[in-house]
Structure 1
Amino acid sequence: MVSIRAPYSLDRFAPPQQNPAHAVWRFVMSDAQTVWSVGAGRALTLAPLAAPRRLAVARGRLWLTLSGTAEQPAQDQWLEAGQTLALPAGQTAVLEGWPQAEFELLLPPVSSAPRRGLLGRRLG
């Protein structure tokens, strides 16, 4: 997994029609990830994706509620700075900074189709 550290606050990107205290964000990234921050009194929902993800806490502490099923109830977990959690494909997670936190959402790199040269031969 690849990560590029650039501090951003989700509050800066909150759509004006949504309540900034609780917003749903769909992360569509490939090889470039970012450090996100969740401030005190804010909640963030990570919508489910088709691919697995890894959540890595860079600073602070996160309180997570992971979605459940009919057989398995939702789970609450705490993550401290330096800890990671694997989120399987289809997993929804609600995050709160306690009192605030910075985290990375890591996705596996996306492979691309082989490139071909001018004569149609495969390069590399």
Structure 2
Amino acid sequence: MGGFVSLNNAAVTLPAGTYYARAVAMGYRVNRHRLRLFNTDDGTTLALGVVAFADSGTADGGYAALSTVFTLSAPKTLELQHRCVTTQATNGFGRASGWGDVEIYATLELWRLKP
């Protein structure tokens, strides 16, 4: 993490600077779904991802994606949030592989471009 990021549960705190963010997340049988990068300190959306679709009537899955450059003028706490139209309580944000490994349903990559 380069020593400048603080990770707390589902939130990441970044110092001031310019960043590139890339994220993907799985949706399963949730119809339309989308990612957003949310500034929890200010209650603002930094970026919206493309809308993805995973048909709720079939065994359909799909990835939502987000890519953006943003600048923070002060340290801020951010969350990657994933919203869907149709809730699937047990597996809507991804089906387990069942291989006995740690399951990963979303990733967020951050690159600091300028301090």
Bin for the TM-score computed over the shorter chain: 0.3 to 0.5
- Superposition TM-score, scaled by structure 2 size: 0.40
- Superposition TM-score, scaled by structure 1 size: 0.38
Q: Which has the higher strand share?
A: 2
Question: Which structure is larger by alpha-carbon Rg, 1 or 2?
Answer: 1
Q: Which has the higher contact order (CA 8 A, sep 6+)?
A: 2
